[in-house]
Amino acid sequence: MKTYKFLFSSRWVGYFALALVFALACVALGNWQMNRRNAVVENITKIQNNYSGAIVDYDAVAGNFEALDPAREWTQVRLKGTYQTADQRVVRNRPLNGAPGYEVLVPLTLENGDIVIIDRGWLPIGYTQPGHPDVVPQPESGVVTVVARLKPAEPKLDRSAPAGQLASIELNDYAAQLSYPIKTGAYGQLATESPAAASNPVAFPAPSIDEGSHLSYALQWIAFGVLAFVGFCYAARMQRRNDEFDALEAEESGVPVEELYGRGSAFHPRQLPKNKKPGSRPTAEEAEDALLDSQGF
């Protein structure tokens, strides 16, 4: 009776090492997907807590307009002041639901003298003048009360924009175009205005809270890693079975296994002998084999 001693051969140690490396790679990829899911879940929790959470006064979160605490993103902030519409800017290349367009930024001078940037919404591309929206709705003049959600300033892009436009919401670039200082760490994405303007840009939809497929991908990678060892064990079982058949045939024929199949051979799949029912007729193949055996072949 053959055993699994062949598993200690260099060949099978190599097979095991290959399966182990593959499994470890699968585990690493599974962990990567889980980490991505954890980051998404953390962001979803932040959105759920802040997006429709309590509205706070500007004074309570003023420092976040200079350096935004990531946990404060989407927090609703109440601001009161006057829009500086002469200094508004249009941000290029801002798709919404798959449609190309722009966003409108306007400085808001607060009652305490601070100036923050408000993103009033989205505009579709224009057809009158290429590269410009057809109409930019204006806010009410005078003092307005704004509720806006905190958003971080964006990184600088390596591209320019025409006069009156920005390539991204990079607030330091915006500040360089103005004659007064503004808060450059964060801006407010408009939720409501009072009094409301006669017409407004398109309001922003709520951010997605879909987790995506990261969890299923992670489980798939882990399953692939397990299958590597399942395949290794199955191959070892088949090798043991074939070794038993080889030993049996060598014993019956009196020829060493090395001469039957070649020294160092491996994996010789052979048909299992079929159990025949008593009285059943031999097949043509069996009859031919019996004839050859009787003639000494």
Mean pLDDT of 55-83: 97
Task: Quick: pLDDT tens for 91-148.
Answer: 999 999 999 999 999 999 999 999 999 999 999 998 888 889 999 999 999 999 999 9
Report the pLDDT value the prediction gives residue 252, as an integer from 0 to 100: 72
Alpha helices by DSSP H, the chain: 10-50, 58-61, 171-176, 214-253, 257-261, 284-294
Task: Quick: pLDDT tens for 269-295.
Answer: 455 555 666 666 777 777 666 666 666
Instruction: Return the SS3 of 279.
Output: coil
Q: Where are the domains of the chain?
A: 1-50, 52-194, 237-274
Instruction: Give the model's confidence band at 257: pLDDT under 50 very low, under 70 low, under 90 confident, else very high.
Output: low
Res. 264: pLDDT tops 70: no
Report the pLDDT value the prediction gives residue 13, as an integer from 0 to 100: 93
Task: Quick: pLDDT tens for 199-239.
Answer: 999 999 999 898 899 999 999 999 999 999 999 999 998 98
Whole-prediction pTM? 0.71
Write the CATH number of the domain with boundaries 52-194. 2.40.50
- DSSP-derived secondary structure for 134-162: S--PPPPSSEEEEEEEEEEPPPPPS----
- DSSP-derived secondary structure for 162-215: -TTEESS--HHHHHHTSSS----SEEEEEEEEESPPSS-PBPPPPPP---TTHH
